[in-house]
Amino acid sequence: MTPAMRIRIEEPADRPAIHAIHASAFGGKAEAELVNRLRADGDLSLSLIACAEEPVGHIAFSPLILAGTPSVKACALAPLAVLPSFQNRGIGSALVEDGLQRLADAGMDLVLVLGDPDFYGDFGFRAESASALATPYNGPYLQTLFLSEKGREARGPVTYARAFAELT
């Protein structure tokens, strides 16, 4: 992150750039379309961009329902992307850290992510603690971060926002 780079909540004018960031970083439109569907469904509970003059990175969070412990506030981190020409400068990490801080401040108990443990482990995400939750994505890449002690009470099955069911 350079001093000129800042992280802020998405605005309507950022939407084409957000779509382009995901399409470019993932090499396909699935994640970009996921963001659009989450937004259309009202399930984009936190959407942050990293930008200097133009947006270069984006992170999305969406609500989860935990059938066994409905009072535990939980969300999914997905997707996260940084434009290829801006990767490996700390922007992705800054988006994760900023997002997690905002969620903790808002009283979130638990965050689930599906991704590389080498990357997400640095922020405290752990695969072991996710194995107690029945989700559509169980396995070594599903990781949990507890933001509160209450998060440790979490029990599934876990229901993701509707848009994830259409992810191809």
Nearer to ligand COA, 129 or 143 (CB): 143
Question: Could you tell me which residues are beta bridge partners of residue 6?
Answer: 51
SS (H, E, C) 7-57: EEECCHHHHHHHHHHHHHHHCCCHHHHHHHHHHHCCCCCEEEEEECCCEEE
Between 32 and 74, CB nearer to ligand COA: 32
Which residue, 25 or 34, has its beta carbon nearer to ligand COA? 25
Q: How far is the CB of 11 from ligand COA (least distance, A)?
A: 21
CB of 148 to ligand COA, least distance (A): 23
- Which of 93, 131 has the CB closer to ligand COA? 93
Nearest-CB residue for ligand COA:
92
> Minimum distance between the CB of residue 108 and ligand COA, rounded to whole angstroms?
19
Residues of this chain that bind ligand COA (CB under 6 A): 25-26, 79-82, 87-93, 115-116, 118-119
Distances (CA, A) of 16 to 6, 23, 36, 150: 19, 11, 10, 38
What is the nearest approach in angstroms of ligand COA to the Cβ of residue 46?
16
What CA–CA distance (Å, rounded) separates 67 from 88? 38
> CA-to-CA distance for 137 and 64, rounded, in angstroms?
13
